A and B are shown apart, each in its own frame.
Chain A
Amino acid sequence: MSEGTSTERPTRARHPSGGTFDFISGPWQRLPARVRQWAPLAIVLAVAVLYPYIVGDLKSFATIGDFFPELDAAVYILVFTMMALGLNIVVGYSGLLDLGYVAFYAAGAYTAGWLASGQFQEVSFHFGSVGIQRDTQGIHVSVWLVLLIAGSFTAIVGILIGLPTLRLRGDYLAIVTLGFGEIIPQVVRNGDSFGGFNVTNGTFGINPIDSPGFGTTLNDAVGLPVNFQQSFDKFRLFYWGILVLLLITVFCSWRLRDSRLGRAWIAIREDETAAAAMGVPLMRTKTWAYAIGAFFGGVAGAYYASFKSGAFPSDFYFNISVFLLCMVILGGMGSIWGVLAGGIILSWLNIQGLAVIGDKFNDAAGTNFEIAKYQFGIYGTIIVLMMLFRPTGLIPERRHKRELEEGVHDETFFDVSH
């Protein structure tokens, strides 16, 4: 996705060492540049959109069929991948080590809990909600609108957290964000009596939470589903819903990266003192990174809460922040394709992959090893190994630019003369 690509065939770039895939890359290089640029995206998009139709067939394959996620797991995967993209803006683009991203997830989820459930029994306010009787107590706003509100509210939370935090140096920033990532869930857990007022329903959480939908009018007119949760193909609808949200997130990330703000973020990441000297206002720019990263986290959190029809304090804990960080590191800091890959791989491992791999291993070896129990050890190992051996990630940022360079350059991420 580079800017200024010409349609003429570029000069053949010299391949980096390690020609394992030369039999593919040979013919691949001969396709016109436009095709090469957009083909991967088109293929992935097609597979993603059609997945609900083919998942049944995929799962029927012997042995490898078990590895394909069912649609509800797929929703989980896409939700967390979306959050990883949000974190990518903070960590990947701007270089701000945020260890408390789970706070944004919680803020989004609870916004959905406040605005689309029976939590606030004192009032009865309906605005575009679907599938609920008009006289039900509570605040019931259309979930689509709630997503927007959740994102905005979470962005504000991000700005508030950022005010004291973003002026701090890297390691302190990490610890303080970790602190907020801990405080907010604890606030949520103890939130059943703030001055006698039940805000978060404490350890019981808020449930049920309303479902997204298009209402009866649109259903009569164009056949759009009234109410996701009550539809017979509920999981497909939720799946396509999060797919759209994810694509929007990808689009925004992409556009921002090649914009004035995106350049400012990366400059801050590379050398914030020099960035300031070049006219980039540090606090303001970092706060924007935080706010936008938080926005996407909030939207994802709200959508997932609606999907699960609940928001519970036990959903939010520190390890999730590290889990998301691991996705960004594995995929490649600042790399959209990378974070997509890292997000999908790790979320899949978490929700299904580790269990399936564990079972297959146990069946084959006759052991009783609960591999899923050690998942965070695995993620920790991934982080350390990536940092030591491939800090640019699976799909490094800037890869497409490197292909245009003369010759092969040393892949060291760390300038020895630093």
Chain B
Amino acid sequence: MAALIRRPRPRAISLVGLGFVFLIGVWLLVNLLKDPERFFTVFLIGLTTGLVYALVALGYTLVYGILQLINFAHGDVFAFTGLLASTMILTVFDLTDQDSAGVIILGLLGTLVVVVAFGATLNSLIERVAYHRLLKAPRLALLITAVGMSFIVQNVALAIYDVNFRRVPELIPRSDVFSIGGVHYQWNKLSVVLITIPVLLLLTWLVRSTRQGKGMRATAQDPDAAAMVGIDVNRTISFTFALAGGLAGVGGLLFLLQFNIRYDSGFELGLIAFTAAVLGGIGNLSGAVLGAVVIGLIQAFNEGLTWATPGSDWTRSIIFGVLIAILVFRPQGILGEQVADRA
């Protein structure tokens, strides 16, 4: 089967790309020098948000690695889990900021378990119901179906939660963990790190060492060969979707704790997370995390720095600009290798 390999990029374009990166560096440097405290505060915010994005970006990259499919519905699954988390916290566990630390922690853990399970189940369900039958179909069909699924998930969330934003009380205090110079870092931000890092480590162990993980990597590389050595490709695909959905669940809860969520929040967040995955190198797990952190930083810098900054009105355009730029200048992302397009 003949594959089409992209020609080597003309030099001029690479130069433009590099020039651009250089300008960004200058911008950051100036801002750093002008107001270092603000810079580092914003930096930490970006880092933290980036970790939440990482959880969603991983979902995109896992599914893309195994199916070469951009699962458009993933962002909406993420938003849905966040909404479910709000129900768990507000209605089921009835947590408020007056409750003791122990109660809050237990409540959040319980919520975590529920949303992870929900995310995993929902994502697997979507794969079984919609994508499974189309795995042998032209790529266009699968992609279009994913777009349709995205809207279905959104509207189910709409039916349940209506158009309002959902938020939860400040369960994790915004008091400082530390404060160096004028740079503050709050507990609610640290909690993100405390939860995300173990999850990422768990994921790494799962992908590297378990049978399922190896099955995933084998199927991602060559589904036919994987089938020939006895790997149940269908089960592996379902497992991957479940895993991605579970990660989205964690992300949904963490996002809810920081910000608020609505039935259609998944669209923008999904695009941000997907851009992160592409930036880091689609199909590459560390890449997804790296890309997400970079995107988180970009967003935070854009919204937080003061000198020559476009501002939050332009965040969406900047993120899309990054996406387009990556796909044009360096489609394999930061960590990816140049891969031949499958025919």
Task: Show the binding face of A for B, using Cβ within 8 Å.
Answer: 95, 97, 99, 164-165, 167-172, 174-176, 178-180, 182-183, 186-187, 190, 273, 318, 322, 325-326, 329, 373-374, 376-384, 387-388, 391, 413-414, 416, 418
Contacts and interface: CB of A to CB of B under 8 A. Distances in A.
Interface stretch (B47-55, B89-97, B149-157, B287-295): B149-157
Nearest to B282: A172
B192 to A, nearest CB: 27
10 contacts: A170-B143, A176-B324, A182-B271, A183-B317, A273-B343, A380-B151, A380-B155, A382-B148, A388-B134, A414-B138
A179 B323 CA distance: 8
Given A378-B155, A382-B148, 13 more contacts: A97-B144, A168-B327, A170-B143, A176-B324, A182-B317, A190-B313, A273-B4, A377-B151, A380-B149, A383-B144, A383-B147, A383-B151, A416-B136
B158 A186 contact: no
Contacts of B156: 377
Contacts of B341: 169
- Closest 7 pairs (CB-CB, A-B): A377-B155, A380-B151, A383-B148, A179-B320, A384-B148, A380-B152, A380-B148
Interface of A is mostly: helix
Contacts, number: 128
A170 B323 CA distance: 15
Contacts of B151: 322, 376-377, 379-380, 383
Contact of B158 (A95, A99, A374): A374
B314 interface: yes
Interface of B: 2, 4, 6, 68-70, 130, 133-134, 136-141, 143-145, 147-152, 154-156, 158-159, 267, 271, 274, 278, 313-314, 316-317, 320-321, 323-324, 327-328, 331, 341, 343
Contact of A384 (B70, B130, B158, B328): B130
Contacts of B130: 384, 387-388
B141 A186 contact: no
Nearest to B341: A169
Contact of B267 (A169, A186, A318): A318
Contacts of A169: 341
Nearest to A169: B341
A399 to B, nearest CB: 19
A182 B270 CA distance: 14
B34 to A, nearest CB: 24
A172 B149 contact: no
Contacts of A374: 155, 158-159
